[in-house]
Chain A
């Protein structure tokens, strides 16, 4: 898809939204890391 058309279909990627996305990603990585620790630390 040409760049201009792409921008029309996926609008509003504001810096604020990008920063929110980074926070969501960080939260998920932290959650998965915690679950991994729970599984491996308490494995018999």
Chain B
């Protein structure tokens, strides 16, 4: 990569870290360190919420998905605005009004200490491990693209993030998120602009070809529980997933607990409700435009350069044969795409239909050869050859003008760092407030708790980097932990929903939570064909039903245990 690109990356890292270190001034207690003294403006919290959710995997994986699979993934987010509105009128006033540090702290006031400790522990287990995967995913891509050691890539992403998060606390995290969101938006708009300018045919014609290839198919109204992305799984399952994530996951709850008031906390969430679907649609459309771009420029056979080199080295004859056939298929597809684009402006319906069908046939031919190549890569490398995450990085490095690769790399780092920083900050908060302060050292000076919080952030940071470094070997373990995490996500939401029902008692809620997790585990193992998006709905429903039934006949809680406690 050219030195100017590296300069852009260096300037970005320097600005984020230096500004993060500056934010440490005036922080003397854990309310300042974890919640910015509850004084952040709504727009900063809103951008922080969006940046936290937008990880590097979203940036490079979702664009890649747009290129290979089209726009239908956007359905995953259809429930988000609904969830944000529901949270704005329910959990946000509860949690913000209760003046808690963690969402789980509220559960002790409403129910009991064991419910709080269990939910907080489940959060620490799942998020601690997933933080490692958030670092690992872009590190593996960068390592493969640039040929660097994985440890170096983990350090490039992890070290500056841990540094400014440890020193600056949530102030540094939130204000870095704001800058990072602008970097990400600028990079995406720059790439889209370049793609449109360099498209060899008019954009309208190009989009008709994308439509013919099925890349602009957004809505799927089939009610099939085994399909992950449908309108219904997005609206129903997605709403419950987003309710769980934004309502009960400390990494998100902590963002809006830092807002100045309930109204500002709500406004920050509604910012995501406004912009999430348009933003995701834009990211997917970028992938679709890359697909269109590569119709007129020869794309790589394998986007992962390491896998490509491995196949070439271990099976040179097979590789040469695949390359030759791929070049022929690409040339045929290019001719068919141009024909389908031009014939629209004068041909009759039959001619247009024939041209579109010819394009689809050539596109299927290209896909078939790619499938063969991916199988060869899997055989040569001994690992998954899925290369969706490599499409955009390769496109940026190979095709964009000088400087854009630096901007894009800065955006990937920004997306990764914003998510990691929020995770570390929230992991530290839950560790210190829900365990250290609750069980080990209830009374100590502000300086003591502040120092413990910084140490906890650093320890979680090192842990996440170690997990990321061994991501390849820990792959199956991480998968188990992530799967285990999905078992209780909906159940934790169910607990918070029960907290809003006055008559529900602590024992009923606790047993309900265990039943909810068991129900999701039973569905996951007994009916694996049911998409994971439905798990949260099932978990939350079982928890609420069991908790409510077990609490029937009990008296309403006293005001001290209610939401305004």
Contacts and interface: CB of A to CB of B under 8 A. Distances in A.
Interface residues of A, number: 27
Interface of A: 1, 5, 8-14, 16-17, 20-21, 23-24, 27-28, 31-32, 35-36, 38-39, 41-44
B218 A36 contact: yes
Nearest to B207: A42
Contacts of A16: 263
Contacts of A39: 71, 211, 216-219
A8 B81 contact: no
B89 interface: yes
Nearest to B210: A42
A31 B267 contact: no
Contact of A35 (B85, B89, B219): B219
Interface string B205-218: 00110111000111
B500 interface: yes
B388 interface: no
Contact of B85 (A5, A24, A42, A43): A24
A10 B89 contact: yes
Report whether over half of chain B's contact residues are helix, strand or loop; otherwise say mixed. Answer: helix
B88 A17 contact: yes
B114 interface: no
Interface string B239-277: 000000000000000000000001100110010011001
25 contacts: A1-B502, A8-B564, A9-B500, A9-B563, A10-B93, A12-B262, A21-B88, A24-B81, A24-B84, A24-B85, A24-B274, A31-B277, A32-B277, A35-B71, A36-B218, A38-B71, A38-B207, A38-B216, A39-B211, A39-B216, A39-B219, A42-B207, A42-B208, A44-B212, A44-B356
B211 A42 contact: yes
A17 B219 contact: no
B134 interface: no
A31 B278 contact: yes
B28 interface: no
B281 interface: yes
B270 A20 contact: yes
Contacts of A35: 71, 74, 218-219, 281
